[in-house]
Structure 1
């Protein structure tokens, strides 16, 4: 399988927790679709203390997986939103 582009897009989106509106990270997202997965190498700034858990409310918002052989977070539907 093809790996994701290493350099990736330059435009970043801010990812927030849906429950408490805390910022989780800045992510270099490509395309117009919704945020389904986040490749770890594309996260430019991480505000979480432990992986996949909101620092404020403690809600688990993603699962740690491998996508196309690359480490990624697979988002749980409705737990996060991106601006």
Structure 2
């Protein structure tokens, strides 16, 4: 399978918890689509203390996964959104 594009996007978005509206991380997202997965190498600034858990409410917003051979977070539907 193809690797994700090595040239990272310039535009950053805030990934927020939908339950408590806490910023989870700043992510370099490419394209206009919905947030389905977050490659770990594209996270610009991480505000979480433990992987896949919201630091404020403790909500699990993603699962650890290997997508196209690259470590990533697979976002659980409706648990996290972009702003």
Shared fold (TM-score, shorter chain, > 0.5): yes
Matched, 1:64 2:64: yes
Deviation at 1:76, TM superposition (A): 0.2
Matched, 1:81 2:81: yes
Deviation at 1:5, TM superposition (A): 1.4
TM-score (norm 1): 0.98
How many residues align? The count is 83
Which ranges of 4 or more aligned residues in structure 1 deviate by more than 3 Å?
none
Gaps of 5+ in 2: none
RMSD: 0.5
Gaps of 5+ in 1: none
* Cα distance between partner residues in 2 of 1:46 and 1:6: 20
* Cα distance between partner residues in 2 of 1:5 and 1:50: 27
Alignment correspondent of 1:49: 49
